Amino acid sequence: METPARKIIHCDCDCFYAAVEQLDFPQYAGRPLAVGGAAARRGVIATCNYEARRFGVRSAMPTAHALRLCPELILVPPRMERYREVSHQVLDLFRDYTDLIEPLSLDEAYLDVSASTACQGSATLIAREIRQRVREEIGITLSAGVAPNKFLAKVASDWNKPDGMFVVTPAQVPEFVRQLPVDRLFGVGKVTAARLHELGARTCGELQALGLAQLEQVFGVLGPRLYQLCRGEDPRPVKPSRVRKSVSLEETFAQDLTHAQVLALVPRMYEGLMARLRRKEGSSPIDKCFVKLRFQDFVSTTLERRGQPSPELFRRLCEEALARGPDRKLRLLGLGVRFRVGGEDQNQLDLFDGPTSDDPDPIGEPIPEPG
């Protein structure tokens, strides 16, 4: 019996660091904005919003060059702690749909929703709902690609970027790959692309004309991979990180609560969290505590701080997070802890497993810890 097609979603936040800056500082919206190091210190651009991209500003470009292209560019230094916080919020939202999540960087992840029951099991509807909820509850935009495998999902998430999605159904795969340039293939850089062009293969359709033996001869171990990919095949599974990185306890209230009522819940929820932690034996040492709030308008916020759990710390975090919505009641409170992963310096380490395309400190300057 044929195995049913998998349903993979690749999610990629739009201009992630810049989007977080626009979220926290709405006065930047609509103006060209870049996150990066100062020109005077020979800094580079980590990312920029789409307004700045219209001027030709790009990631990894020297800031001095970016400012020549776009003199009115607003330049802000990176705040990695804050980007990690929003990244956790996004990942937490994904967990409402599947546990099979493979983060690639702070703003990018694969989701395998083959077995998900949400949205009648429709990956397209799940992607649509995720995009809407990320916009409404977190306040940034995310592009998504839906396809039967990782490679196609990743290509698809770029198709209608920013703030868009694209679906490749199993039936559409042959048509979709035929026109796809070979340099879009996973593992194909400039050198391999040039060799493929020499062999007469600019598109995947043209690459399909080359035999497996020939590809193996020219490209070695990459040969069989190319043979599969140009046919739209990619058997790589979505690999969720095995290490537990956090434990949390959340409560959605029957009725919206006032700030004072929420603060009054902290001691009891703290006890609940501690009980849950005692059941997770063998966990790594605790690194941080965090709170999550959802306001009456469904907007969520999280705040985290290095330290060991105590009712006082959670109360302080709650008070600070509540200050982000002074006039709004609350639908949900969550308390949690994050574990130290891999025993490395958390400033340098992406909090998630797996290879990361994310440069945690693009300008090489120390990043101040909040608090």
Interface with ligand TTP (CB under 6 A): 12-17, 46-47, 59-60, 105, 107-108, 161-162, 358-359, 362
Q: Which is nearer to ligand TTP, 81 or 358 (CB)?
A: 358
- Please report whether residue 234 would count as binding Mg ion according to CB under 5 A: no
Residues 16-75 that bind Mg ion (CB under 5 A): 16
Q: Match 């956090």 to its residue by tokens.
A: 246
User: With left for phi above 0 and alpha for psi between -120 and 50, is residue 270 left, alpha or beta?
Assistant: alpha
Q: Which is nearer to Mg ion, 77 or 162 (CB)?
A: 162
Residue 108 is among the residues annotated as catalytic for this protein: yes
- Please report whether residue 12 would count as binding Mg ion according to CB under 5 A: yes
> 362 is in the binding site of which of ligand TTP, Mg ion, none (Cβ under 5 to 8 A by kind)?
ligand TTP
In angstroms, what is the minimal distance from the CB of 35 to Mg ion? Answer: 12
> 314 is in the binding site of which of ligand TTP, Mg ion, none (Cβ under 5 to 8 A by kind)?
none
Q: What is the spatial distance between Cα 43 and Cα 37, in angstroms, rounded to a whole number?
A: 4
In angstroms, what is the minimal distance from the CB of 289 to ligand TTP? Answer: 26
Catalytically annotated residue among 85, 102, 108, 304 = 108
In angstroms, what is the minimal distance from the CB of 46 to Mg ion? Answer: 11
- Please report whether residue 107 would count as binding Mg ion according to CB under 5 A: yes
Residues of 216-238 as b/e, b for ≥16 C-beta within 10 angstroms? eebbeebbebbbbbbbbebeeeb
The number of angstroms, rounded, from the C-alpha of 321 to the middle of its chain's C-alpha atoms is: 22
Q: Which is nearer to ligand TTP, 81 or 107 (CB)?
A: 107
The per-residue DSSP string of 279-343 comes to HSTTPPPEEEEEEEEEETTS-EEEEEEES---HHHHHHHHHHHHTTSTT--EEEEEEEEEE--TT
SS3 348: coil
Helices H / strands E in the chain, number of each: 13, 12
Catalytic residue numbers, as ranges? 108
Which residues lie near Mg ion (CB under 5 A)? 12-13, 16, 107
